[in-house]
Amino acid sequence: MPDAIPQTHHTEWHIWFDGSACPNPGRIGLGVLLVAPDGQRKEYSCITAQSGCNNEAELLALGMALEIARESGARRVLVQGDSDFAVRHVNGLDTTEVIRLREIILRTRGLMSCFTECRLAWIPRHRNQDADRLSRAALGLPVKPGLHPGLLRRRR
């Protein structure tokens, strides 16, 4: 049986984000995939001018995803990523003493408040392939083995 698709509002945008640091800490690549309510897909891949750790990369990717969604006119968004750190901290379920990360978390929460509805959810890595591919491409890295499009099959 195919994975169940959650019922969503017909004006909801679906967004996936991922950040990569290479090495860790090192250069930061960001990847974002937006899917508008009409099914139009937008992909973004960029490298930042700063360096940092993987958690910083994930938070920056989330912030970029929210900025792009806002600029695209989205009002209701479901944002998904495989970073437990980013999702837990931005949702207020965990805290950090690292000032640099706290500042990004607060800025990201501010971006979330710009939307009528903004849900942030953790998803497993295998369901975040496009954003991962985009974040790695920004750094000139190949797609991770086992995550090539078409290799993962739905459970039946």
Output the pLDDT for position 151: 40
Output the pLDDT for position 145: 79
Kindly list the structural domains of the chain, giving each domain's residue range(s) and its CATH number in brackets, ordered by start: 12-138 (3.30.420.10)
Output the pLDDT for position 146: 67
Output the pLDDT for position 156: 33
pLDDT < 70 positions in the chain: 1-9, 146-156
Among residues 138, 147, 142, 146, the alpha carbon closest in space to that of 60 is found at 138
d(CA 61, CA 20): 9
d(CA 129, CA 135): 10
> Residue 155, Cβ neighbours under 10 Å: how many?
6
Output the pLDDT for position 144: 83
Which pair of tokens denotes residue 65?
A: 């995803």
